[in-house]
């Protein structure tokens, strides 16, 4: 890990020296002889870096080496801070002098950067301060460099140094499917389903050493259909160490009530709430990873969970049999090590994945010897098997088999060795990303994108050059996942959304962080929880402050903090607290979570000059201070769901490194400042808001300003398009066309405004014609790779014929509250369209051949024609005037034998269309249709009513039919 930190310092040093030399040549220098000190700094770092891989391995057996490495890390952090301060001052000069790296910045005469007649004494002193710091750091590095000679540290050969470029990627698999334990699974389910009249509450324990066995068995029971049907309620709570009664009680309530709202009350009230919720219910409560050996802490839960209904069960997983006995388990199931053959099967599926037969045969003998060293522990086998996926040669496997690391036993019997082997195989650039994950509490849902942003903020992904840092972050995450450092992945479509770490892997990461990462939870009665000698090295802190607890001001004394992630269940933080937090000037990442934690950002935030990542998601500020624009290093500003914020700082153009402005659901924003157009490197702008008030026109960026932001990617919402003026002058033509990486676009012609009690939609008043709407939409030629398009509150008579049918990559199209359109646009020839939705198009009376995209005689030849060839989902909502869906092409002289309509359609929804008389036979008689939902459609309900409807026979073959299901639920 130390090598990684040294690498960051060297990269940062190079990034400063080269641009500085080219920017103002000889004038940009430190005072005195510090040029020599800078060169000396670089040489010291390079000399130490050469032996750090060997030091990393030797520290496990040599405490002195470990102390030396910690001293080195502290010095390197100081190097980073000083170099970053230097770099920030150079940026400040460029920005103030008009040399900021964006296309639209005004050009001004540049004053010299360091002591000269054109600068006052303040600037000279500041530069001398940086010079003094570099000199002091060099003294410390000199001592560290000399000390290394005591430990006989060697430069490792090239073939023993992990190389990121050569690392292969592969898919990761769900090991829970291949862990065997069939007898244990069946035995556990049998015991859970067994009824007994002897005790009203039965406790069963799964006991065994570390690994994935106990939790996997518990998960099997949790997801088993027989178990689900046997109990009225099933709850899962990860306990971990320590046994925090209030946290566990809240977790049980949250699991019982399936709610994410804050849960208030003292322990007694929480226990009473649990008791009231389970009365009359037969429940299963799974308490995973219990360590507590104090019966007095468990006893209140035991009495709370007892009820009068026979059959309720508690399932405990623990590493200690004493815990199971203290908790009065009536049945203890010892989860033994996997059998050799089960272990081999797990290993084989991982290590020999996707290899040719001859290669598997060559490696099997060595592989079986490695499996023996795993001692039947599935986590050990999983870790080593994942590592060996990437080792192709017999020599590499031999090196793992005979590694000295197998002799290490410091963490959980037998598990440190394989974890350390896998960790040592990671390149240094990825090692630091792994140990950083120890900042999160055990069992925490780690959101992948947030984790990558946090890595970026610490400089772990390098400095942006040819490859996007987000891309590097995705690759690093994938490498860690395929090596089994992550588990329990949650996917959204084809993307991993979040994951967790196994408890023992988390312990290992915490061990490697050597006190740099800490997660603490502050409860009522905790006094100064952060002032502790063991916390002196903390640099990355996850802090949870529970309801009714004052903010622990002691954390503000830890000036070396680089990450602060706060979860706050209490009242808003006072201005005094926030000002104190602004004194943590080493921070790179600052995240606030919780309802109304922050109501005002103090102007002192400008002190956080190193800050890269500021997450204010869901906070209640009305505005951000102008001083925030002095955070020149900021790359991510997250104000998602900040519904009270009305404006952003006017000096936003000074945030030259800003790459992501996330502002989804920030409905109160009146406009986006003009300066945004200068941030040509911006990659994410969630919502672009057009001013609807003349008073803001001088401060607001016009729609035309969007044309300069061609690096935008992913999703973009443009809000307030109905207020665009002078669309006919051509200035807004094709403002989107060059945004090649934009894939999702939402065009909103309205804005939201806060009413007395709720948010309401506002649209332009008189003077705005249908033609104005049409001109605006026509000018917004979308980019070619667009995959999703949503249009809301559009009041034109027609849609642009020039571009909507040219979107060959479009997969989803949604039209909301579109008035004045009496016909649906011809969409049938869009080749990639998979989902199509029409909401509240109240003027449409008929759907006919125009919708399909047919012209008279187009299909009269013998060639086949497909309409909506890939459409899977079609929805019509609240089309109250729609009465006819004409699909009878025989009247038009069309050869129906060569026409195919919607061959992939699986779901058809018709909601609140009371005048619709019938559905097209050509759709209903298709075998691909799997689901038909009809609600609020009186005529259709009678026509397709089961058994008695005249056309029931036309839909009876569809597997899933719901007619007026919504009405029934409401009744």
Query: What tens digit of pLDDT does each residue of 133-187 get?
Result: 888 999 999 999 888 888 888 876 655 555 544 445 455 555 444 456 788 888 8
Comparing CA positions, the residue from 488, 486, 502 lying closest to residue 210 is 502
Please say which residue of 489, 511, 533 terminates a domain: 511
274 domain-assigned: yes
Q: Are 557 and 534 in contact (CB under 8 A)?
A: no
Which range of residues forms the domain containing residue 587? 515-666
Helix (H, G, I), strand (E, B) or coil at 429: helix
8 and 155 in a common domain: yes
Among 28-32, 111-115, 163-167, 820-824, which is the least confidently predicted range? Answer: 111-115
545 and 491 in a common domain: no
873 domain-assigned: no
Planar angle of CA 198, 199, 204, nearest 5 degrees = 115
250 and 273 in a common domain: yes
Residue 666 pLDDT > 80 = yes
Residues in CB range of 771: below 8 A, 6 or more apart: 796
Q: Report the C-alpha gap between 315 and 138 in whole angstroms.
A: 58
Query: What tens digit of pLDDT does each residue of 730-772 get?
Result: 788 889 989 999 999 999 998 777 665 666 677 776 667 888 8
Residue 832 pLDDT > 70 = yes
317 and 238 in a common domain: yes
Q: What CATH number is associated with residue 349?
A: 1.10.8
Q: Are 458 and 588 in contact (CB under 8 A)?
A: yes
709 domain-assigned: no
Query: What tens digit of pLDDT does each residue of 286-307 get?
Result: 998 888 888 888 988 988 888 6
Q: Are 381 and 366 in contact (CB under 8 A)?
A: no
CA of residue 509 relative to chain centroid, distance: 20
433 and 404 in a common domain: no
275 and 404 in a common domain: no
638 and 557 in a common domain: yes
Query: What tens digit of pLDDT does each residue of 676-701 get?
Result: 999 999 999 999 999 887 767 789 99
775 domain-assigned: no
Q: Identify the top-confidence range among 62-66, 111-115, 118-122.
A: 62-66
156 and 29 in a common domain: yes
Residues in CB range of 512: below 8 A, 6 or more apart: 1, 423, 434, 435, 438
Residue 842 pLDDT > 90 = no
Residue 523 pLDDT > 90 = no
63 and 9 in a common domain: yes
373 and 329 in a common domain: no
575 domain-assigned: yes
Residue 800 pLDDT > 90 = no
The confidence band for 277, taking pLDDT boundaries of 50, 70 and 90, is confident
Q: With pLDDT > 70 as the criterion, what percentage of the chain qualifies?
A: 83
Q: What is residue 825's predicted lDDT score, i.e. its pLDDT?
A: 83
H helices present in 97-181, as ranges? 121-147
Q: What CATH number is associated with residue 626?
A: 3.80.10.10
909 domain-assigned: no
Helix (H, G, I), strand (E, B) or coil at 740: coil
64 domain-assigned: yes
Residue 624 pLDDT > 90 = yes
Q: What is residue 400's predicted lDDT score, i.e. its pLDDT?
A: 85
Query: What tens digit of pLDDT does each residue of 452-464 get?
Result: 999 999 999 987 6
53 and 68 in a common domain: yes
275 domain-assigned: yes
Count of domains forming the chain: 5
Q: Is the pTM of this model over 0.85?
A: no
Please say which residue of 650, 666, 682 terminates a domain: 666
Q: Report the C-alpha gap between 849 and 168 in whole angstroms.
A: 52
The confidence band for 2, taking pLDDT boundaries of 50, 70 and 90, is low
Q: What is residue 632's predicted lDDT score, i.e. its pLDDT?
A: 96
Please say which residue of 334, 354, 385 terminates a domain: 334
Q: Report the C-alpha gap between 676 and 652 in whole angstroms.
A: 6
**With 0-12 CB in 10 A as exposed, 13-18 as middle and 19+ as buried, what is 677?**
buried
146 and 239 in a common domain: no
């Amino acid at each position: 890990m130390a090598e990684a930190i040294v690498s960051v310092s060297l990269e940062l040093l190079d990034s400063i020296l080269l641009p500085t030399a080219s920017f103002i040549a000889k004038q940009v220098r430190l005072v005195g002889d510090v040029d020599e000190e800078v060169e000396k700094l670089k040489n010291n770092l390079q000399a130490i870096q050469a032996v750090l891989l060997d030091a990393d391995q030797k520290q496990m057996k040599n405490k002195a080496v470990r102390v030396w490495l910690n001293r080195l890390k502290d010095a390197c952090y100081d190097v980073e801070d000083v170099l970053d301060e230097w770099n920030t001052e150079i940026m400040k000069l460029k920005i103030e002098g008009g040399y900021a790296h964006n296309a639209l910045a005004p050009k001004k005469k540049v004053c010299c950067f360091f002591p000269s007649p054109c600068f006052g004494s303040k600037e000279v002193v500041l530069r001398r301060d940086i010079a003094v710091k570099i000199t002091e750091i060099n003294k410390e590095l000199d001592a560290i460099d000399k000390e290394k000679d005591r430990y006989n540290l060697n430069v490792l050969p090239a073939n023993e140094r992990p190389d990121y470029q050569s690392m292969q990627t592969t898919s990761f698999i769900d090991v829970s499917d291949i862990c065997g334990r069939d007898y244990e699974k069946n035995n556990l389910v049998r015991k859970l389903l067994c009824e007994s009249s002897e005790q009203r509450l039965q406790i069963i324990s799964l006991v065994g050493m570390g690994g994935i066995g106990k939790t996997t068995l518990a998960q099997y029971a949790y997801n088993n259909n027989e178990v689900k049907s046997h109990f009225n309620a099933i709850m899962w709570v990860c306990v971990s160490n320590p046994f925090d009664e209030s946290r566990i009680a809240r977790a049980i309530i949250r699991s019982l009530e399936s709610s994410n709202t804050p849960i208030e009350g003292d322990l007694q009230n929480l226990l009473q709430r649990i008791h009231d919720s389970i009365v009359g219910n037969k429940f299963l409560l799974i308490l995973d990873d219990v360590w507590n050996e104090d019966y007095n802490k468990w006893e209140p839960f035991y009495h709370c969970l007892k009820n009068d209904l026979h059959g309720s069960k508690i399932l405990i997983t623990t590493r200690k049999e004493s815990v199971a006995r203290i908790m009065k388990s009536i049945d203890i199931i010892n989860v033994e090590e996997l059998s050799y053959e089960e272990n081999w099967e797990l290993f084989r599926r991982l290590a020999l994945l996707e290899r040719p037969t001859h290669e598997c045969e060559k490696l099997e003998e060595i592989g079986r010897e490695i499996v023996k060293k795993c001692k039947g522990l599935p986590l050990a086998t999983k870790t080593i098997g994942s590592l060996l996926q990437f080792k192709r040669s017999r020599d590499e496997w031999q090196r793992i088999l005979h590694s000295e690391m197998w002799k290490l036993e410091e963490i959980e019997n037998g598990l440190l060795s394989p974890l350390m082997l896998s960790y040592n195989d990671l390149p240094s650039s990825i090692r630091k990303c792994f140990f950083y994950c120890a900042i999160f509490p055990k069992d925490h849902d780690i959101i992948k994108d947030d984790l990558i942003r946090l890595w970026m903020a610490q400089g772990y992904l390098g400095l942006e050059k040819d490859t996007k840092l987000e891309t590097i972050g995705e690759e690093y995450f994938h490498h860690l996942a395929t090596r089994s450092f992550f588990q329990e992945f949650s996917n959204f479509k084809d993307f991993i959304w979040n994951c967790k770490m196994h408890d023992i892997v988390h312990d290992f990461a915490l061990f490697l962080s050597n006190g740099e990462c800490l997660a603490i939870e502050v409860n009522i009665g905790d006094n100064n929880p952060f002032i502790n000698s063991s916390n002196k090295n903390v640099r990355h802190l996850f802090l949870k402050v529970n309801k009714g607890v004052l903010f622990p001001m002691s954390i503000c004394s830890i000036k070396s903090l680089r990450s602060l992630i706060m979860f706050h269940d209490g009242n808003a933080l006072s201005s005094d607290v926030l000002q104190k937090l602004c004194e943590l000037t080493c921070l790179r990442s600052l995240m606030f979570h919780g309802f109304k934690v922050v109501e005002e950002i103090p102007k002192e935030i400008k002190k956080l000059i190193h800050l890269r990542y500021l997450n204010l998601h869901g906070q209640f500020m009305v505005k951000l201070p102008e001083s925030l624009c002095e955070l020149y290093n900021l790359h991510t500003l997250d104000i998602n769901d900040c519904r009270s914020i009305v404006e952003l700082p006017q000096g936003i153009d000074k945030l030259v490194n800003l790459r992501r402005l996330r502002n989804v659901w920030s409905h109160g924003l009146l406009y986006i400042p003009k300066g945004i157009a200068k941030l040509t490197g911006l990659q994410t702008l969630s919502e672009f808001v057009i001013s609807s008030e003349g008073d803001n026109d001088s401060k607001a960026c016009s729609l035309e300003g969007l044309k300069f932001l061609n690096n935008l990617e992913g999703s973009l919402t443009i809000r307030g398009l109905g207020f665009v003026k002078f669309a006919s002058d051509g200035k807004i033509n094709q403002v989107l066309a060059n945004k090649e990486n934009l894939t999702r676009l939402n065009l909103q012609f309205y804005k939201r405004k806060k009413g007395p009690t709720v948010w309401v939609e506002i649209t332009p008043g008189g003077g705005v014609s249908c033609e104005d709407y049409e001109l605006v939409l026509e000018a917004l030629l979308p980019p070619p790779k667009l995959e999703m398009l949503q249009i809301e509150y559009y009041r034109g008579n027609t849609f642009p014929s020039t571009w909507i049918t040219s979107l060959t990559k479009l997969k989803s199209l949604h039209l909301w509250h579109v008035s004045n359109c009496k016909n649906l646009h011809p969409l049938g020839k869009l080749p990639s369209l998979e989902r199509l939705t029409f909401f509240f198009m109240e003027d449409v009376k008929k759907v006919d051949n125009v919708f399909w995209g047919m012209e008279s005689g187009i299909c009269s030849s013998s060639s086949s024609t497909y309409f909506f060839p890939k459409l899977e989902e079609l929805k019509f909502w609240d089309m109250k005037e729609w009465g006819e869906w004409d699909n009878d092409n025989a009247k038009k002289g069309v050869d129906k034998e060569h026409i195919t309509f919607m061959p992939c359609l699986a779901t058809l929804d018709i909601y609140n269309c009371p005048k619709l008389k019938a559905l097209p036979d050509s759709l209903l008689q298709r075998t691909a249709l799997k689901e038909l939902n009809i609600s609020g459609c009186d005529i259709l309900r009678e026509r397709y009513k089961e058994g008695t409807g005249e056309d029931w026979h036309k839909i009876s073959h569809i597997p899933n039919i719901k007619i007026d299901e919504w009405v029934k639920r409401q009744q």
